[in-house]
């Protein structure tokens, strides 16, 4: 049973295509949540489908404020940011695309992403009555392969099968490039920038191996990749002279290696964080780990405990829990980040002095 | 083996019967209250949902009472509940308690069964069958007591009659040790309730309560919402979930439950097409059906930061408008005060009364007439 409105909008859309209207459909992609994971893919795919892709600008105070006003108060910051971005795009575009990620991997038990990622399009649909319902792009790997979602999206936009196949291949290439850039030590933000500008430039300063302390940041890409949401955590670490690694830089293989040490978890993305934390606790050259969570995040509230109590920490590395919310000031994160780097530096010096004495 | 499990409403009655009839000692901590919640909240992660905190407090009480095995239902779900047991036991162990975990649904069922067999010795399977029968009988009895009380409470002539009967019968069901005895008790219960003098007026407001399972069913979390609505405000409150439903639906013992929840999934699909791992389908369906079932309004109760219910909150305003049904959202956490909740509740009930006073249109009356007939 679908509501009438949805059907009418659908009809309107196919009509537009049938008439062969020249103006391409403008599709907005909010810069929130899965943007930081899949944007290059989605952009290539939608452009291949003949749409014009409009990404919302990096989160700013106005966007965050709109999101906070629109949302119920005890939802996580990430969803608030999503709402702000959708509001920003409203009026500028013909439709928005909010991916629906139900499950992203196949395991021998049931896996999910997070209820809010599963229901994100529904929340948007009911909170923005003037916007046509978001385009459906469903990833439910447990039930159907990843390309199935692309196929359905393409068919809905009236694209031929061959057109879909071609865009899918191009989009996959693009996505691989994006992931490779991240593996090389770029944060999602910088990788995106680099893909847009096309130049290679010098690597960013935070990735330099010359620095004396190394901090690994573990958190969802939409938290650590969004400077406003993360209150410029990366910048503060960078400016206090630390080398920054992030969970987004790890490859699937790095994560799988940790599986043995960890409990089963039904949330795929949280499992990745758990594995990343475990990786950084053991990997060479890491001095401390920051575990980044969002206030009101459901899965993280439990996974934080698992990170603290269950992830093996053979080298006794320092662990900092950082909870982000939309109210607190930047200075809080700044102070804590700087103090953390100082602590690591201090410890490291003390340790090397001990070694020298011996 | 001394097994303990956390409280949820009156679920302890059938659960205790189940455990004891299998031949294992059950440790039932005292009913949770605000102190239990505070105890749990002190040791729980800060923004975890409320049920986690209170059940953690409950587990601590049980361990203090000498339990050596903690049972908890777990699973691989999209919501947090599936991981409660695992994380709670981590926390409890770090606090220095020693016990064995019985994570039902997470561990291999055969392993769980081996543990039980080791504890009770021979004839375990036969005993389990018997225990399941008693469990079911008691769950049904509890359900009957609760539903009779929900109806009678707002209509009772003398205040407190219903609660007195309810308390007495709950204790009796808890103490009964055979199915036959439970059946007798139910017969007496029906007699007693039909003898109870009730006011015969049609003015009683009826509200549907939807929301998160634990907040709906655990009086210590929702400030005894159902009872208070009945006794103090004279309103008939019908939660959409019940202990019986929660206990029996995974066991396939009652086909009716299965039909009704698959209908709920179907009906709510237009709003939330994917399973979120909580009670979202019941919340949506409950709100959609409320006018048709003759309810004046809906109360949506949920714990702070609850994921599925927060998602429902974006959908419910839409339903409230299109179905013309007033919905009140009540959020609960360890800092919620009775006063604030009460004020909002009273304002809401006043609104419902005045809506009624304005008269309903013929269609609604007809729909209700059909329902009453
Ligand atoms: S994982 Fe946490 S932060 Fe991400 S959408 Fe879910 S609740 Fe929000
Ligand atoms: S339904 Fe809500 S209260 Fe229950 S486990 Fe999920 S988030 Fe927590």
Which residue lies with its CA nearest to atom 1 of ligand 2?
A: B278
Beta carbon of B212 within 6 Å of any ligand 2 atom: yes
CATH classification of the domain holding B357: 3.40.50.11900
> In testing the pocket of ligand 1, which one of A114, A247, A304 has its CB within 8 Å of the most ligand atoms?
A114
Residue A266 to residue B77, Cβ atoms within 8 A: yes
Per-residue confidence in pLDDT tens, chain B, 373 aa: 899 999 998 999 999 999 999 888 999 999 999 899 999 999 998 889 999 999 999 999 999 999 999 988 888 888 888 889 999 999 999 999 999 988 888 878 888 888 888 888 778 888 888 998 999 999 999 999 999 999 999 998 888 889 999 999 999 999 998 999 999 999 999 999 999 888 877 788 999 999 999 999 999 888 899 999 999 999 999 999 988 888 887 776 778 888 888 899 999 999 999 999 888 999 999 999 999 999 999 999 999 889 999 999 999 999 999 999 999 999 998 888 888 889 999 999 999 998 887 755 444 545 554 433 3
Q: Enumerate the residues of chain B whose CB falls inside 8 A of the CB of residue A304.
A: 45
Asked if B226 and B158 sit in the same domain, the reply is no
CATH classification of the domain holding B32: 3.40.50
Looking from the CA of A356 toward its CB, the CA atoms found within 13 Å total 6
Q: Is B79 on the interface with A (CB under 8 A)?
A: yes
- How far is the alpha carbon of A332 from chain B, nearest alpha carbon, in Å? 18
For chain B, what is the domain count?
A: 3
The reply to whether B166 falls in a domain is yes
Closest CA relative to residue A224, chosen from A59, A64, A65, A56: A59
What pLDDT sits at residue B200?
A: 77
> In testing the pocket of ligand 2, which one of B307, B312, B331, B333 has its CB within 8 Å of the most ligand atoms?
B307
A57, A84 contact by CB (below 8 A)? no
Chain pair A-B, CB pairs under 8 angstroms: 111
Domain of residue B267 covers: 204-373
The reply to whether B131 falls in a domain is no
Q: What gap in Å lies between CA A266 and CA A110, rounded to an integer?
A: 6
Asked if B17 and B156 sit in the same domain, the reply is no
Give every CB contact of residue A92 below 8 A, 6+ residues apart in sequence.
Answer: A26, A28, A54
Report, as an integer, the average pLDDT of A293-302.
Answer: 89
What pLDDT sits at residue A14?
A: 44
Q: What is the model's pTM?
A: 0.89
Q: Which atom of ligand 2 is nearest to the CA of B307?
A: 7
The reply to whether B170 falls in a domain is yes
Ligand 1 centre to CA of A325 (Å) is 12
Asked if B245 and B362 sit in the same domain, the reply is yes
Asked if B314 and B364 sit in the same domain, the reply is yes
Question: What is the residue extent of each domain of chain A?
Answer: 2-181, 204-357
What pLDDT sits at residue B359?
A: 58
For A194, A240, B162, the CA distances from A202, given in Å and listed in that order, are 11, 20, 78
B42, B20 contact by CB (below 8 A)? no
Residue B87 to residue A119, Cβ atoms within 8 A: no
The reply to whether B231 falls in a domain is yes
| Residue of A5, A82, A107, A119 to mutate for B, most B C-beta atoms under 10 A | A119
- What is the gyration radius of the CA atoms in chain A, in angstroms? 21
Q: Is B272 on the interface with A (CB under 8 A)?
A: yes
- What are the DSSP E strand ranges found in A147-287? 213-218, 242-246
Range from A3-7, A159-163, B276-280 carrying the lowest mean pLDDT = A3-7
Asked if B303 and B196 sit in the same domain, the reply is no
Restricting to A residues 25-64, those with a Cβ less than 8 Å away from any Cβ of B are none
User: Token pair of B126, please?
Assistant: 């036969």
Q: CA quadruple A174, A180, A183, A184: dihedral positive or negative?
A: negative
Residue B270 to residue A118, Cβ atoms within 8 A: no
CATH classification (class only), A204-357:
alpha beta
Q: Enumerate the residues of chain B whose CB falls inside 8 A of the CB of residue A130.
A: none
Q: What gap in Å lies between CA B294 and CA B369, rounded to an integer?
A: 9
């Amino acid at each position: 049973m679908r509501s009438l409105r949805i059907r009418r909008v659908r009809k309107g859309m196919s009509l537009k295509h049938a008439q062969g209207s020249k103006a391409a459909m403008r599709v907005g992609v909010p810069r929130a949540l899965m943007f930081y994971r899949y944007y290059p893919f989605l952009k290539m795919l939608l452009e291949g489908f003949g749409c014009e892709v409009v990404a919302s600008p990096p989160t700013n105070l106005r966007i965050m404020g709109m999101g906070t006003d629109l949302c119920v108060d005890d939802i996580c910051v990430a969803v608030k940011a999503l709402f702000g971005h959708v509001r920003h795009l409203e009026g500028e575009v013909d439709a928005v695309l909010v991916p629906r990620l139900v499950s992203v991997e196949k395991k021998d038990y049931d896996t999910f992403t997070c209820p809010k990622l599963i229901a994100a399009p529904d929340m948007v649909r009911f909170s923005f009555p003037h916007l046509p319902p978001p385009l459906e792009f469903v990833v439910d790997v447990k039930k159907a392969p990843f390309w199935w979602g692309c196929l359905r999206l393409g068919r809905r936009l009236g694209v031929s099968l061959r057109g879909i196949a071609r865009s899918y291949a191009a989009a996959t290439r693009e996505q691989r490039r994006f992931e490779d850039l991240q593996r090389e030590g770029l944060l999602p933000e910088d990788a995106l920038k680099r893909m847009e500008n096309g130049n290679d430039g010098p690597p960013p300063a935070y990735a330099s191996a010359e620095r004396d302390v190394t901090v690994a940041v573990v958190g969802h890409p939409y938290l650590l990749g969004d400077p406003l949401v993360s209150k410029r955590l990366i910048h503060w670490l960078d400016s206090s002279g630390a080398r920054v690694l992030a969970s987004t830089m790890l490859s699937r293989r790095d994560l799988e290696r940790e599986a043995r040490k960890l409990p089963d978890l039904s949330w795929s993305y949280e499992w990745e964080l758990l594995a990343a934390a475990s990786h950084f606790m053991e990997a060479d050259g890491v001095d401390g780990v920051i575990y980044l969570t969002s206030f009101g995040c459901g899965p993280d509230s439990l996974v934080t405990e698992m990170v603290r109590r269950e992830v093996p920490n053979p080298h006794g590395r320092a662990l900092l829990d950082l909870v982000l919310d939309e109210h607190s000031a930047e200075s809080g994160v700044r102070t804590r980040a700087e103090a953390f780097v100082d602590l690591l530096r201090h410890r490291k010096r003390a340790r090397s002095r001990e070694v020298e004495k011996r | 083996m001394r097994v303990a499990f956390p409280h949820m409403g009156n679920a302890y009655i059938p659960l205790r019967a189940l455990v004891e009839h299998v031949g294992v000692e059950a440790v039932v901590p005292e009913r949770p209250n605000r102190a239990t919640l505070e105890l749990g909240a002190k040791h729980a992660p800060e923004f975890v949902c409320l049920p986690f905190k209170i059940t953690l407090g409950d587990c601590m009480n049980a361990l203090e009472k000498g339990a050596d095995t903690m049972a908890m239902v777990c699973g691989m779900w999209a919501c947090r509940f599936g991981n409660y047991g695992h994380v709670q036991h981590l926390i409890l162990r770090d606090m220095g308690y020693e016990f064995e975990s019985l994570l039902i649904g997470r561990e291999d069922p055969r392993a769980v069964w081996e543990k039980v067999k080791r504890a009770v010795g021979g004839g375990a399977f036969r005993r389990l069958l018997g225990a399941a029968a008693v469990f079911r009988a008691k769950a049904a009895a509890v359900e009957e007591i609760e539903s009779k009380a929900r109806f009678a409470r707002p209509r009772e002539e003398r205040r407190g009659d219903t609660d007195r009967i309810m308390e007495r019968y709950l204790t009796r069901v808890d103490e009964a040790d055979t199915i036959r005895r439970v059946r007798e008790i139910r017969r007496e219960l029906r007699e007693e309730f039909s003898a109870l003098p009730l006011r015969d007026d049609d003015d009683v407001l009826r509200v549907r309560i939807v929301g998160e399972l634990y907040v709906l069913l655990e009086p210590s979390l929702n400030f005894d919402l159902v009872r208070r609505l009945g006794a103090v405000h004279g309103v008939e409150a019908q939660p959409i979930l019940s202990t019986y439903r929660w206990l029996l639906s995974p066991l396939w013992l009652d086909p009716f439950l299965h039909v009704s929840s698959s209908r709920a999934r179907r009906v709510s699909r237009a709003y939330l097409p994917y399973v979120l791992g909580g009670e979202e389908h019941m919340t949506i369906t409950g709100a959609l059906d409320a006018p048709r079932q003759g309810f004046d309004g809906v109360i949506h109760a949920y714990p702070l930061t609850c994921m599925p219910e927060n998602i429902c909150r974006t959908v419910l305003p839409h339903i409230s408008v299109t179905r013309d049904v007033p919905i009140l959202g009540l959020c609960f956490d360890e800092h919620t005060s009775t006063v604030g909740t009460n004020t909002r509740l009273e304002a809401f009930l006043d609104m419902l009364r005045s809506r009624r006073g304005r008269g309903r249109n013929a269609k609604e009356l007809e729909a209700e007439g059909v329902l009453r007939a």
